[in-house]
Structure 1
Amino acid sequence: MSAPFTLTEAAAPTGSIGSGWLWAVSVAVLLGLLVADFLVTRRPHEVSLREAVGWSAFYLALPLLFGLWLWSAFGGAPALDFITGFMVEKSLSADNLFVFMLLLTAFAVPAEVQQRVLLYGIAGALVLRAVFIAAGAALLQAGTWAFLVFGLILFLSAIKILRQALSGHAGEQDTSRMRSVRLLRRLMPVTEDYRGTRMVVRENGRRALTPLAVVVVAIFATDVVFAVDSVPAVFGITDDPYLVFTTNAFALLGLRALYFVLRSALAKLVHLNHGLAIILAFIGVKLVLHWAHGIWPAVPEVPTPLSLAVIVLVLATVTLTSWLARRRNRP
């Protein structure tokens, strides 16, 4: 957290570094990057590894430069909060990518329109994160009990993810049973084949959805689930709404390109969900301790540098154990 939080202080999150003009510039830059991404995907094409690596490097450089600017403009504490929050959100976004991969496979999305589907999913995720961040900030304004609520949400999410990982069903999606997909199919007819990047066409004299519209709705539905996990997680690092928003935005912006870089590597990270469960549980503990510290100052808090070290260590460990597990299982 950026600063200790006690009951002698106002029952609200610490002051945000985000002034009105900074919010305006940040949102304008975000919209500009989304428009640029839409222009890139306007012409459907299969993404080459070279193109994906180039865009991924660009979107990884942006948060690093932004972190350096935060350091020079506001000091080391906000910059460290941002980098730690970005690490949390980027690790959770890897789970996003894995589910996106399963959905694209389940709906047999053509390679040339996959990046457009991913971009719709990312845009939807950004809107949902903004809504959840506003709701989270309002909860924090209501009192310190919100930290306890966030901590419990993360504990429940960690248990769910760990159970799925141990059962071998992590990330599985039965698209035929998704309520959003079933409702959409009842409301409008769906064509048998894709029609480029079009989601609505006229067929036999009536409007019909293409499978592209169905997969986009399915991805939006999963975005809601991921927002429930990720927003409380980053509030466990900082209670500054501006930093919470920017960590989410930077973590999501590069997902489209990163998907095409990591889609083969994601399947090899067999212990990824084990690590994500540990990270969520750890941040849940941090939030509960932060809440308890506001009531009993003797209760210790987890400093941000320790949080960053734990996150990096967990991700490095699951990468190594995944590699060792696959090596043992080779025929």
Structure 2
Amino acid sequence: MHIPLLAWIILFVVIIGILTFDFFAHVRKDHFPSIKESAAWTAIYISIAVVAGLVIGLTLGWDLGGQYFAGWVTEWSLSLDNLFVFVIIISAFKAPREVQQKIIAVGITLALAFRLIFILLGAALIEHFSWIFYIFGLFLLFTAFQQVREGNAGSEEEEEYKENFFVSWVRRIFPVTPDYVGHQYFAKIDGKRHITPFLLVIVAVGTADVMFAVDSIPAIFGLTKEAFIVFAANAFALMGLRQLYFLIESLMERLIFLHYGLAAILAFIGGKLIVHALSTNEIPFINGGQPFTGLPEATIPVSLGYIVGVLIITTVVSLLVSRYRERKQSDGTATKRPEA
């Protein structure tokens, strides 16, 4: 389906408007948001995302509306994994609590720009090379396997932040001040301009999200082929991530089965992509270059129901098991007697 240029313009205007409000009216003053504030803004951003989906459904058709909601829920769930990495990065850089909100806001804005490039590139590849679905599907299946491995190792190994190539390169090229200077990006020491750890941690957060885009972008292309829907779902999922970070920061360690839930979602979409690739097959050495007929493909309602169901089950089971373990540990500590 051809997406009208007006729809793209409206989407960009809305996104720029929200980001402008975020920077100049919300995070302008350095502060660490309370649970109440974070919950209120999380609800607001979820409402905005839902309204966006309803507008898409009413104006462009409910087929695209359903694709948007499936994509948004998927991106939102995969973004939960981002939050774990954000915690590790911000902790590693010892960022003051009062500037953490701005760090995440700027980092997410950078990530959104990077993702737009990935999305346009992915759409172009899909348009010209149908076999790319094989690669996307296999990559998502591999990523699902990696998520399971991380889930198995999570209770035994504490993750440590390792600087990526880009952050290391920036650190080598530009001198860095030893301490934060409020939320300033640059500072002068002995007449020489330095970058601050504030700028460096923003680079770390923004580029870290690019790595997540490598699996999340193929995942959403497994639900829709429209670049407009892919970008809209990514944008509204990412923009609400800052508030969600502060809301569930204390709950992250309780989501002990999150990796398994994400693995189930990625494996489902990866399998969906492989089935679609077989249904549109053009590779000569597979079935003589002919597509496979009669293969069942999950519809958008089925996909959305599966993704939401997995998220609910993963969250509920994680919280119940975490509470049970904490209670068991507490009871064990209470009944333990000191040795004579």
TM-score by length of 2: 0.88
Is 1:24 matched up with 2:9?
A: yes
Instruction: Structure 1 unaligned segments of length 5 or more: list them.
Output: 1-14
Distance in structure 2 (CA, Å) of the matches to 1:198 and 1:251: 27
Residue in structure 1 matched with residue 286 of structure 2 by the alignment = none
Aligned to 2:165: 179
Task: State how 1:197-216 maps to structure 2 within 5 Å.
Answer: 197-216=183-202
Structure number with greater Rg is 2
Give, in whole Å, the separation in 2 of the partners of 1:83 and 1:292: 26
Change (3 A) 1:30 1:311: same
- Larger displacement relative to structure 2 (120-129 or 43-52): 43-52
- Aligned residue identity for 1:228: V
Please give the per-residue CA displacement for 1:110-141, whole angstroms capped at 9, x wherever unaligned.
11100110011111111111011101110111
- State which of 47, 65, 69 in structure 1 corresponds to 2:33: 47
Q: Which residue of 1 aligns with 2:285?
A: none
Select the residue among 52, 72, 91 that pairs with 1:86: 72
Please tell me whether the aligned partners of residues 170 and 273 of structure 1 are also in contact (alpha carbons under 8 angstroms).
no
Q: Which amino acid is 1:301 matched to?
A: E
Residue 290 (structure 2) pairs with residue 303 (structure 1): no
Deviations 1:22-62 (CA, angstroms, capped at 9, x unpaired): 10111111111111111122221221222222221111011
In 1, distance between residues paired with 2:276 and 2:44?
Answer: 35
The unaligned stretches of length 5 or more in structure 2 are 281-290, 330-340
**Residue identity matched to 2:8:** W
Asked if 2 retains the 8 angstrom alpha-carbon contact of 1:59 and 1:253, the reply is yes
Question: Which deviates the most, 160-169 or 222-231?
Answer: 160-169
Supply the distance in 2 between the matched residues of 1:255 and 1:327 (Cα, whole angstroms): 25
State the number of aligned residues. Answer: 315
Contact 1:154 1:233 in 2 (8 A): yes
Q: Write the letter of the residue equivalent to 1:50.
A: K
Corresponding residue of 1:109: 95
Q: For residues 1-331 of structure 1, what are the structure 2 equivalents within 5 Å?
A: 15-16=1-2, 18-39=3-24, 40-168=26-154, 172-175=159-162, 177-294=163-280, 295-330=291-326, 331=329
Aligned partners of 2:109 and 2:56: how far apart in 1? Answer: 25
Judging changes above 3 Å, is the alpha-carbon distance between structure 1 residues 88 and 146 closer, same or farther for their aligned structure 2 residues? Answer: same
Deviation at 1:171, TM superposition (A): 8.8
Deviation at 1:189, TM superposition (A): 2.0
**Distance in 1 separating the partners of 2:164 and 2:135:** 27
Superposed CA offset, 1:191-245 (max 9, x none):
2211111111101221112111221121122111111011111111110111111
CA–CA separation in structure 2 for the residues paired with 1:220 and 1:89: 16
SS in 2 for 1:57: helix
Q: CA RMSD in A?
A: 1.6
Q: 2:88–2:161: 8 Å Cα contact kept in structure 1? A: no
Q: Counterpart of 2:179 in 1: which secondary structure? A: coil
Identify the structure with bigger relative contact order (alpha carbons < 8 Å, sequence gap 6+): 1
Aligned residue for 1:264, secondary structure, equals: coil
Q: Structure 1 CA distance, aligned partners of 2:314 and 2:144? A: 15
Q: Distance in 1 between matches of 2:38 and 2:121?
A: 34
Contact persistence 1:271–1:322 (CA under 8 A): yes
CA drift at 1:72: 2.1
Structure 1 length normalisation: TM-score? 0.91
- 1:114 aligned partner, one-letter code: Q
- Mapped to 2, the partners of 1:306 and 1:225 lie a distance apart of 28
**Which residue of 2 is the match for residue 3 of structure 1?**
none
Q: Is the 8 A contact 2:279 2:292 kept in 1?
A: yes
Residue aligned with 1:201, SS:
strand
The separation in 1 between residues aligned to 2:228 and 2:174, in whole angstroms, is 40
The 4+ residue runs of structure 1 with deviation greater than 6 A are none
Identity of aligned residues (%): 39
- Over 3 Å counting, the alpha-carbon distance change for 1:171 and 1:214 in structure 2 is farther
> Which letter maps to 2:159?
E
Amino acid at match of 2:203: V
Contact 1:117 1:216 survives alignment (8 Å): yes
Q: What code does the residue aligned with 1:88 have?
A: T
Return the letter of the residue paired with 2:173.
L
Alpha-carbon distance, 1:275 to partner:
0.8
User: Given that residues 140 and 218 in structure 2 are in contact (C-alpha distance below 8 angstroms), is that contact kept between their aligned partners in structure 1?
Assistant: yes
Structure 1 pair 183–171 and aligned structure 2 pair: CA distance change class (3 A): farther
Q: Which moved more, 1:117-126 or 1:187-196?
A: 187-196
Partner amino acid for 1:20? L
- Structure 1 distance, partners of 2:72, 2:209, is 18
Deviations 1:272-324 (A, max 9, x none): 11111111111000011111122112111111111111111211121122123
